[in-house]
Structure 1
């Protein structure tokens, strides 16, 4: 076909613009990026975040040390060794040195021992396990209560939403430490009676303070989660799939749990991950005040509180639990920030 010349100043339409596209032109228009779903795209974005991945592996490493290593450690957290009180790190007592001269192998005290002759390394590891367990369990309780409460308030709206949100405002003003002290004293006798039953013997190790702490987490700390979920539900309930579910005869319960909360799962995961370090810090703070687990069960907060008495002579006894608290909270915060950047659609790069 002859090339049609066109005057640059004329208004004539160029026929070249209407010629069929060649194979190279068609290939250049093909979108090369693979179509991915919400979870796959979020995981891909999370894996590109080096800080978040480092925090993730650090959390796994801490869990291995706190949950698995104590099972193979040669000492127990409640084991008292006579003559081994307040040993420095990597130091042996006279009794242990005498046994070593006889040819016996003695595992070193990596962080020394406390005032009762108990290995301090195992107590820090078990204390980290207690603090992380409390943080995880408390976050699950907050997730379950807060998500259901916020979803109901956001879905129904109107007078129901107003009443439920006023309840949240009232709970925000309740002093948590005072409630824990009152519950610990009120529930002490009933819990002691209940712990005598075979099915509840595990409660003897926790004590009334720790159980009251779980109750306070379930009663007070879910309000932030409820507000976040409520705001998400109020946006999602206007979606077409919710209208279609109503048209098909789905009830409010099915719509809330099968459609709305499921579509908030990314926000729930991020909020729960950020709630874990807050719960761990609260548990450590309360244990520091003596409102945590019952002795001889250790907690990072109780270990730090006990180490204050001999801080000038044995500073490492305070640095060890304080450093572990710092690493746990920092790693969970960085992990939560990475999950938020990966799964929050509003933060995706254009």
Structure 2
């Protein structure tokens, strides 16, 4: 009887049959069932499964349409004062407008009423939402650019460079934000006015608004420190990776390594942090406008609209509810969107 194919578990000889080509059934058992996808495609797929985040994204899109597109078709302007239409309630017409309707003329209703100067509240709410969104987006982009560059340089070079740069960040952290913001807003107001009126080529400052420019400068000076710390932590973990070592060996410059290899691999946390920075910027702008040092009249802001409504809270409470609900809706939507992006693009949270 031949024993050449009998398995001997304690034998030191190799079994030739173990090295035979695999058949179709064995190959099929080794196939990975899940399709290989990139980091971004996988993140988008996970984000789409988050119903709350998708609903928040839809709400944000609707708010953008309300703020940037509808004003072009709306018959009233945010500065337009309509005589005889002061203090109208929602969907109410003035006597002059009722007379025009009786004469057969079509008059568009004041959907949310008018203020004490006869200005349509819906038009002002549209423009106020636009200002808040612009402040949130522009301020977040400024924070992203300044914070990512600063944190990347500190984390990449390390040593004394990192020590000095992060101590500057710690000093800025110890400064009371609101106090410095108020001081900067008041201090920057008059130099910007002189610059816009006396220096050729800077008239655009008046067009945009002294208050808005001041807010952007304040965010550029103070609010990038959190982003810098996050980026620094990411860079410290990534700079020891093999591809960074290979780039150094090939003679890549520091600028290329930071921009091409390190910051590119931090895009997930950067997008999430930037998205979560938007509601913070909107809330800060609304607070500044509420206390009277933010966006200046006649340009409306959700904060200034709420401040103006305080005086008539007992008679016209809806004037306060309108900007307050819009602020809450914008901030809540961006926060939920940021949470969804974090769950989708943070590798530590993958199932």
Same-fold call, TM cutoff 0.5: yes
Q: Which residue of 2 aligns with 1:326?
A: 328
Provide the secondary structure at the position in 1 that maps to 2:263.
helix
Alignment of 1:85-164 (within 5 A): 85-164=86-165
Q: Distance in 2 between matches of 1:121 and 1:143?
A: 33
TM-score between both structures, scaled by the size of structure 1: 0.92
Q: Distance in 1 between matches of 2:172 and 2:265?
A: 27
Identify if the C-alpha distance between structure 1 residues 232 and 81 changes in structure 2 by more than 3 Å, giving closer, same or farther: same
Q: Report whether the alignment pairs 1:28 with 2:29.
A: yes
Q: Distance in 2 between matches of 1:307 and 1:66?
A: 20
Identify if the C-alpha distance between structure 1 residues 11 and 150 changes in structure 2 by more than 3 Å, giving closer, same or farther: closer
Q: Distance in 2 between matches of 1:299 and 1:232?
A: 37
Pick one of 223, 226, 239 that aligns with 2:225. 223
Q: Which residue of 2 aligns with 1:274?
A: 276
Q: Which residue of 1 aligns with 2:295?
A: 293
User: Displacement, 1:207?
Assistant: 3.7
User: Displacement, 1:21?
Assistant: 5.4
Q: Distance in 1 between matches of 2:255 and 2:73?
A: 47
Q: Which residue of 2 aligns with 1:204?
A: 206
**How many pairs are equivalent?**
343
Say if 1:176 and 1:216, in contact at 8 Å, map to a contact too. Answer: no
User: Displacement, 1:187?
Assistant: 2.9
Q: Distance in 2 between matches of 1:247 and 1:348?
A: 33
Gaps in structure 1 of 5+ consecutive residues: 1-5
Q: Distance in 1 between matches of 2:147 and 2:314?
A: 44
Say if 2:57 and 2:333, in contact at 8 Å, map to a contact too. Answer: yes
Q: Which residue of 1 aligns with 2:341?
A: 339
TM-score between both structures, scaled by the size of structure 2: 0.92
Q: Which residue of 2 aligns with 1:252?
A: 254
Identify if the C-alpha distance between structure 1 residues 324 and 103 changes in structure 2 by more than 3 Å, giving closer, same or farther: same
Gaps in structure 2 of 5+ consecutive residues: 1-5
Q: What's the RMSD between the two structures over aligned residues?
A: 2.3
Q: Distance in 2 between matches of 1:176 and 1:266?
A: 28
Q: Which portions of structure 1, spanning 4 or more consecutive aligned residues, are displaced by more than 4 angstroms?
A: 10-13, 17-22
Q: Which residue of 2 aligns with 1:189?
A: 190
